[in-house]
Amino acid sequence: MITSPTWRGKRFAVLGLARSGAAVVRALVASGAEVVAWDSDEAARDALFSAREGRGEGQPQALSPSTAPLPTLSPEERGLLSFADPENIDLAGFDGLVVSPGVPINRHPVAAKARAAGVPVIGDIELFAQARASLPPHKVVGITGTNGKSTTTALIHHILETAGVPARLGGNIGKPILGEEPLPDGGVYVLELSSYQIDLTTSLDCDVAILLNITPDHLDRYDGFEGYAASKARLFAIQSPDHAAIIGIADAASARIARSLSARGEHLTKIAPGTCMDQSRWPSLQGPHNAQNALAAIDACKALGVDDAVIDRGLESFSGLPHRMELVVSRDGVAFVNDSKATNPESTAPALAAFSRIHWIVGGQAKTDDLDACAPWFGHVARAYTIGEAGPRFAAILTPHMSVEESGTLAQAVKSAAANARPGDTVLLSPACASFDQFRDFEDRGDRFRTLVGGLA
């Protein structure tokens, strides 16, 4: 794990003990810091005192990052850890309140309490930033944006690995960054950064900072869209001006941020919309949105000194991410594509743009009352199949533009779409909605789609 001697003897409160919170606690106590931790889930608190169970004693340990055992705390480390709800204790004298990105710091009382006591409210990315000075020489790439972050982050990481550069994936993707082993000299940490994580970060100076786009999302956490955009802009405000900034300028908010950085000159790269690229050699990077993602990754890797020929090999061999424009199978000339990660209309629009004749499965728990962002690509849809809470509303929106079936459930939608599709068509799950009305999360929804497609006769 990543530790820092600067934390020794300091005192932190940690709220939230899921994966990132647990990694924070372990990194702090291993560094000699005193930690008061809290999670309302007793099991999460108990897990800090014992290694997580893997696949069972004596069985092969083929574990994913999210299920791999955590190390057991030593007796000395246990002596540094206690449990108390930070809302119920005096925070005066603490060196930081470390919260999960899921804690709404704009309205959570503990954040106001910490600020009143003069205690900084930070997250695990800020702790990583503080630990950088004690790590072997390295570089950091930070990627933010409303859509495309995960694909771009994974693509940069893949290209670096193709080039033989030691690299770690972290932030809003993969393992918590503090739970990773430090990279050797010359390594690159590639971090996906949500706006929530940026809000909790004050000193992360990225060697390469990327903003892909900004469209309305998470507005319950901000003072309108401008507040959300300002959160994204902070990634550059805390970056040294002679480090590389890469910004997509297809939307007005991102373009304004790019203009505000114009004094950086050669250190600023703008990605204009509609750039013509040959994506035919990149099977997992189809569609105009992936052209932007690829350009951002290319520019970032060039800034890091990766050779053009290696970048080309990385683009060609990139396999994509689960639930993001994922080709599940091609059967009898029909492609079945899982884009369950598309939880708002803005993230669904690129998927509709990528295919010419689509059987579109859409719906769930709506984040907006409209599908305006998708409208330019309605002509690509042969038939829509609406599901979930938003099904009736979306059916009413779509009926004037295309044939629509109110399927209700994903199972019925897959069955009907498969029956209606013909060779050359794409059956696309790109719901433009959250999943919580019918599924545990978008991954559960995508896994169910894979299972249903696999069970087709």
Where exactly are the structural domains of the chain?
5-53+62-122, 126-317, 326-454
Helix (H) or strand (E) holding 12, with range, is: strand 11-15
Cβ atoms within 10 Å, residue 389: 16
CATH number, domain 326-454, options 3.10.20.30, 2.102.10.10, 3.10.290.10, 3.90.190.20: 3.90.190.20
What angle (nearest 5°) sits at the alpha carbon of residue 35, between those of residues 34 and 41?
160
Active site residue 218: yes
When pLDDT is averaged across residues 428-445 and rounded to a whole number, the result is: 96
pLDDT in tens, 214-223: 987 777 788 8
Q: List 326's β-bridge partners, or say none.
A: 338
When pLDDT is averaged across residues 185-196 and rounded to a whole number, the result is: 96
Cβ atoms of residues 449 and 324 within 8 Å: no
- What does the DSSP assignment read for 110-126? HHHHHHHTT--EE-HHH
Cβ atoms of residues 376 and 351 within 8 Å: no
pLDDT for position 223:
82
**Which tops the pLDDT comparison, 421 or 320?**
421
When pLDDT is averaged across residues 80-107 and rounded to a whole number, the result is: 92
pLDDT in tens, 317-333: 998 889 988 989 999 99
pLDDT for position 158:
97
pLDDT for position 409:
98
Residue 429, helix vs strand vs coil? strand
Active site residue 147: no
What angle (nearest 5°) sits at the alpha carbon of residue 138, between those of residues 134 and 142?
105
- CATH architecture for residues 126-317: 3-Layer(aba) Sandwich (3.40)
- Tokens 């503080």 -> residue: 130
When pLDDT is averaged across residues 403-409 and rounded to a whole number, the result is: 98
Same fold, 5-53+62-122 and 326-454: no
Which residues, 6+ apart, have CB-to-CB distance to 37 below 8 Å? Answer: 13, 14, 15, 17, 21, 25, 45, 48, 81, 82, 83
pLDDT in tens, 351-383: 999 899 999 999 999 999 999 999 999 999 999
Task: Classify domain 5-53+62-122 at the CATH topology level.
Answer: Rossmann fold (3.40.50)
What angle (nearest 5°) sits at the alpha carbon of residue 327, between those of residues 321 and 333?
170
Q: How far apart are CA 289 and CA 42, in angstroms?
A: 42
pLDDT class of 50 with cuts at 50, 70, 90: low
What is the C-alpha end-to-end distance of the chain, expressed in Å?
A: 48
Q: Which of 214, 14, 20, 40 is nearest to 114 (CA)?
A: 14
What single DSSP character describes residue 365? B
User: Full-prediction pTM beyond 0.85?
Assistant: no
pLDDT in tens, 269-296: 999 987 778 888 998 888 888 899 999 9
Residue 384, helix vs strand vs coil? strand
Side chain identity at 165, as an amino acid letter?
V
pLDDT in tens, 158-190: 999 999 999 999 998 888 999 999 999 999 999
pLDDT class of 52 with cuts at 50, 70, 90: very low
pLDDT for position 69:
42
Segment among 16-20, 182-186, 245-249 with least mean pLDDT = 16-20
- Strands 334-338, 326-331: parallel, antiparallel or unpaired by DSSP? antiparallel
Tokens of 105: 């710091």
Active site residue 157: no
Q: Which of 378, 387, 392 is nearest to 348 (CA)?
A: 378
Q: How far apart are CA 372 and CA 374, in angstroms?
A: 5
- What does the DSSP assignment read for 390-412? THHHHHHHHTTTSEEEEEESHHH
Q: Of the listed 138, 149, 158, 359, which one is catalytic? A: 149
pLDDT for position 88:
95
What single DSSP character describes residue 221? G
Helix (H) or strand (E) holding 20, with range, is: helix 19-30
